[in-house]
Amino acid sequence: MATIDAYAVLGNPIGHSKSPEIHTLFAKQTAQALVYTADLVALDGFQQYVKQFQADGGCGLNITVPFKQEAWAVVDQRNDLAELAGAVNTIMFKNGQLLGFNTDGLGLVKDLIENCHIPLAEQRVLLLGAGGATRGVVLPLFQAGVKSMTIANRTAQKAEALATLFSEYGDVNGVGLDAICGSFDVVINATAAGLNRDVPQIDPTFVKNALCYDMMYGDKPTAFVEWANSHGATRAFDGLGMLVEQAAGAFLIWRGVGAKTEE
């Protein structure tokens, strides 16, 4: 019996996910036959769900909060970016194996450069937060030519630990939010503060005349975008473009064809 290639995004919560819409548009655009669903997975049920999806003949998965680290642990192989990010957002089932990838960082870089026209080469970047979201983007930012990076986090030790982890890839230092010094061309918010419509408590002069980017997105401007605009940011963008670009990265891995993301 012929069945259609099945993909899904797994998360908890998952109701807000735009991924089914994005992948369905990519499939239409590239004339690929597939189905893509958003599946709510119990917090203790991730591994079981993945096994069942594979047993049912599924082709691939996207992974979102809070399962990216668990996905990293569960796959049989990881590419370099996933390995270093400590998180997997894309799984491909191939010959009975689970292959793990992380397309978040390249998605961010592509959105910054191509859609937001924020140059990264030789730029000084302030990266706010030191969780999984931050960890996934540091290496791609350096690979895009960033000159220096300050990772600043509410819990300073976590920023310091990430700076040590990535020190071989570029000029990076880690500090608490109240100990940031220097000036920055690009300020990226990778904290989860926006979930409560909050912003990381930093001196607003750091966003003045800087290009600002919030990795979160929503139906209305995010708290960080509003805050940055009200404190003199040159421009401020939300993370919808990153979502679309990381999805295109996954689509390319699974289907071998690129999607046109501007649409």
Residues of this chain that interact with ligand ATR (CB under 6 A) are: 129-133, 153-155, 158, 191-193, 198, 200
DSSP designation for 117: -
DSSP designation for 57: T
- Please say which residue, 191 or 246, places its beta carbon nearer to ligand ATR: 191
Nearest approach, Cβ of residue 155 and ligand ATR (Å): 3
- Please say which residue, 105 or 129, places its beta carbon nearer to ligand ATR: 129
By DSSP bridging, strand 186-189 and strand 124-128 are: parallel
**Does residue 110 have an active-site annotation?**
no
Please give the backbone phi and psi of residue 81, each rounded to the nearest 5 degrees, phi first. -65, -40
Give me 83's structure tokens. Answer: 């390995």
Nearest approach, Cβ of residue 132 and ligand ATR (Å): 3
Query: Which 3 state secondary structure label does DSSP give 28?
Result: helix
Q: Is 117:175 a contact under the CB 8 Å cutoff?
A: no
Residues across the chain: 263
Whole-angstrom CA distances from 120 to 91, 108, 164, 205 are 29, 11, 22, 21
- Please say which residue, 123 or 134, places its beta carbon nearer to ligand ATR: 134
Catalytic hit among 28, 51, 68, 260 = 68
Q: Sheet containing 77-78: give its strands across.
A: 34-40, 5-11, 60-63, 90-94, 97-101, 77-78
Cis peptide before 221 (omega within 30 of 0): no
Count of Cβ atoms closer than 10 Å to residue 48 Cβ: 11
Cis peptide before 66 (omega within 30 of 0): yes
Nearest approach, Cβ of residue 26 and ligand ATR (Å): 24
- Please say which residue, 122 or 195, places its beta carbon nearer to ligand ATR: 195
Q: Strand runs (DSSP E) across 87-185, as ranges?
A: 90-94, 97-101, 124-128, 148-153, 171-176
Nearest approach, Cβ of residue 210 and ligand ATR (Å): 18
- How far apart are the C-alpha atoms of 143 and 136, rounded to whole Å? 13
- Please say which residue, 87 or 259, places its beta carbon nearer to ligand ATR: 87
Nearest approach, Cβ of residue 89 and ligand ATR (Å): 10
- Please say which residue, 23 or 135, places its beta carbon nearer to ligand ATR: 135
Q: Which residue is nearest to ligand ATR (CB)?
A: 131
Nearest approach, Cβ of residue 18 and ligand ATR (Å): 17
User: Which residues are marked as active site?
Assistant: 68
